[in-house]
């Protein structure tokens, strides 16, 4: 148990909101973490033997599910997309709010949904997309894209997209309208289930994040 | 045939090297293409009715293979990883040189390869990785990561990684050594095979890129 805990955080937007919460839970990254020119991938914490790794959101879930990191922060979109049995998400951090939605071209219309038994959808979330349409009895063929989903309908790659939506401005700029919400998204504290059962530091970490959330809940 | 051609280019490093070649082949993006603050995904070209889209490297191949873009530029790593039957890569652009390599921790050693029948590898390239080890009679379990592969061995996620290597500095910084080259990589002009057969503008585009390469070959 002398091995330091590894805590995985996602690059990008969620991180700015996560850092104050992490600090209240006792995770304060060393100064080098904020050096944008640095090529380092792993960082020490002040006053703690935990290590931080900063990776892409989907990879946060992969590292934690395999126990290579014992805990981390990631959006509920990623938790639900992978549905790793070894991943436990005990705390809703109430940050990084957005939604995973279906969108299609305004007016003109993708293929009609009524009576359709098959359609093509561009998304970074093949599993959530397939499950969403299956619930409506529709078999969705998902074209996996890593970004720029909004281009797909106009270029004929797919009639619809499933993507994260925040303000809706990107959809509007690309002539798309939201037609359904699949998932309300917020960031979660995630832990590796096996490590949580065997390493008492993880129970303490979960409690520290719950306590870090308290002032916000009381407000 | 009045629909404009869509040409897909990858974000990042290759693009700076590709722009002069594209210009010699008649594809000069409008000024907005160089505006880093712009959220636009699609751009006009000067003196041509072609449109440019700028997407992630893996998505360049997906757009072209599905005929949503008719042509584009992408690394041979991506061409080989997907091995889309509808994607034709007629011109080696001799830019974006690097290699796809296997790496493992210096000295200490991952699991030994001799006599192994199974091992775990972290990579963004599951197909090329599996094929590489299959040729040696080894079944590789690939943990798909989108970045920061170099973290995987140290954290016990995988004994080896398969990643793009250029100078080798990132590997060295992370205590890893290259132990084998899977593929020498360079950027390719790619075209959708069906569009190439039916739309004469694509034959002309391929010839324009061949001609754009000529001064370089003569040098």
B151 touches chain A (CB under 8 A): yes
Q: Which tokens belong to A40?
A: 């380092």
- Cα(A193)–Cα(A76) distance, integer angstroms: 17
Closest CA in chain A for residue B153 = A68
Q: What is the pTM of this model?
A: 0.93
Report the candidate in B9, B32, B35, B12 with the shortest Cα–Cα distance to residue B22. B9
Distance from CA of B170 to the nearest CA of A (A): 8
DSSP secondary structure string, A92-145?
A: E---S-EEEEEEEETTT-SS--TT-SEEEEEES-HHHHHHHHHTTT-EEEEEE-
How long a stretch of residues is chain B? Answer: 219
Strand, coil or helix: B38: coil
Res B36: pLDDT: 81
Residues B104/B178, Cβ–Cβ less than 8 Å:
no
pLDDT in tens, chain A (219 residues): 568 999 999 998 899 999 999 999 999 999 999 988 777 889 999 989 899 999 999 999 999 999 999 999 999 999 999 999 999 999 999 999 999 999 999 976 555 565 667 799 999 999 999 999 999 999 999 999 999 999 999 999 999 999 999 999 999 999 999 999 999 999 999 999 999 999 999 999 999 999 999 865 554
Q: What is the pLDDT of residues B11-66, one digit of tens each?
A: 988 999 999 999 999 999 999 999 887 778 899 999 898 999 999 999 999 999 99
Cα–Cα distance, B94 to B188 (Å, whole number): 8
Predicted pLDDT at A216? 58
pLDDT at A114: 58
Q: Looking at per-residue confidence, does B214 or B44 come out higher?
A: B44
Is the CB of residue B127 less than 8 Å from the CB of residue B58? Answer: no
Closest CA to B17 of B85, B86, B78, B75: B75
CA distance A75 to B15: 31
Closest CB to A68: pick one of B54, B146, B152. Answer: B152
Our measurement of the distance from residue A173's CA atom to the centroid of its chain's CA atoms, rounded to an integer in Å, reads: 24
pLDDT tens digit sequence for A89-135 = 999 999 999 999 999 999 765 555 656 677 999 999 999 999 999 99
Which residue out of B8, B9, B146, B150 would a mutagenesis test of the A interface target, given it has the greatest number of A Cβ atoms within 10 Å? B146
CB-closest option in A42, A66, A170 to B157: A66
Least confident interval from A62-66, B11-15, B149-153, B206-210 = B11-15
For B3, which residue in chain A has the nearest alpha carbon? Answer: A155
pLDDT exceeding 90 applies to what percent of chain B?
84
Residues A57 and A12: beta-carbon distance below 8 Å: yes
Adjacent-strand bridge partners of A65? none
Instruction: Report chain A residues whose CB lies below 8 A from the CB of B174.
Output: 41
Over range B182-204, report the average pLDDT: 97
pLDDT in tens, B74-92: 999 999 999 999 999 999 9
Using the predicted structure, report yes or no on whether residue B217 has a pLDDT greater than 70. no
- CA-CA distance, A137 to A86, in Å (whole number)? 29
pLDDT of B111 strictly over 60:
no
With an 8 Å Cβ cutoff, is B150 touching chain A? yes
pLDDT at B72 over 60: yes
B69 vs A39, A144, A155: nearest CB: A155
Assess B56–A contact: CB distance below 8 Å, yes or no.
yes
Asked if the Cβ–Cβ distance from B148 to A173 is below 8 Å, we say no
pLDDT (0 to 100) of residue A12: 85
Decide if B151 and A58 are in contact by the 8 Å CB cutoff: no
Instruction: With H, G, I as helix, E, B as strand and everything else as coil, classify residue A135.
Output: coil
Choice between B205 and B118, residue whose per-residue pLDDT is larger: B205
**What's the pLDDT band for B159 if we cut at 50, 70, 90?**
very high
pLDDT at B114: 58
The number of beta carbons lying within 10 Å of the beta carbon of residue A157 is 22
Put simply, the answer to whether A59 touches B145 (Cβ < 8 Å) is: yes
Nearest CA in chain B to A7: B155
Supply the DSSP string of A21-59, one letter for each residue. HHHHTT--B-GGGG-TT----EEEETTEEEEEEEE-HHH
Asked if A155 reaches chain B (Cβ–Cβ under 8 Å), the answer is yes
Half-sphere exposure of B146 (CA within 13 A, CB side): 18
CA B79 to chain CA centroid, Å, is 6
Burial of B73 (0-12, 13-18, 19+ CB in 10 A): buried
The ipTM of this complex is 0.91
User: Has residue B216 got a pLDDT over 70?
Assistant: no
Which H or E run includes B172? helix B169-173
> Cα(A15)–Cα(A74) distance, rounded to whole angstroms?
9
Interface test with B, best of A64, A65, A66 (most B CBs within 10 A): A66
Domains of chain B, start order: 6-96+186-218 (3.40.190.10), 98-184 (3.40.190.10)
Q: Which two tokens stand for residue B194?
A: 């069906």
* Pairs across A and B, CB distance < 8 A: 83
pLDDT confidence of residue B153: 96
User: Cβ contact (<8 Å) for B143 and A66?
Assistant: yes
B62 touches chain A (CB under 8 A): yes
């Amino acid at each position: 148990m002398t091995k330091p805990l590894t805590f995985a955080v996602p690059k990008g937007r969620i991180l700015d909101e996560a850092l104050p919460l992490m600090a209240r839970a006792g995770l304060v990254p060393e100064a080098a973490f904020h050096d944008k020119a640095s090529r380092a991938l792993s960082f020490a914490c002040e006053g703690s033997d935990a290590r931080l790794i900063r990776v892409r959101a989907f990879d946060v879930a992969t590292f934690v599910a395999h126990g290579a990191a014992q805990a981390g922060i990631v959006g509920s979109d990623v938790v639900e997309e992978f549905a790793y049995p070894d991943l436990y998400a005990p705390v809703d951090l109430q940050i990084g709010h957005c939604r995973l939605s279906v969108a299609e071209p305004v007016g003109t219309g993708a293929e009609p949904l009524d009576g359709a038994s098959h359609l093509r959808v561009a998304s970074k979330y093949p599993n959530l997309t397939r499950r969403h349409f299956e619930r409506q009895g529709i078999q969705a063929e998902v074209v996996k894209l890593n970004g720029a989903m909004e281009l797909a309908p106009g270029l004929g790659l797919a009639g619809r997209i499933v993507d994260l939506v925040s303000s809706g401005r990107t959809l509007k700029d690309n002539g798309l309208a939201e037609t359904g919400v699949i998932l309300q998204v917020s960031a979660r504290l995630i832990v590796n289930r096996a490590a949580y059962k065997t390493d008492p530091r993880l129970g303490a970490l979960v409690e520290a994040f719950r306590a870090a959330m308290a002032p916000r809940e009381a407000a």
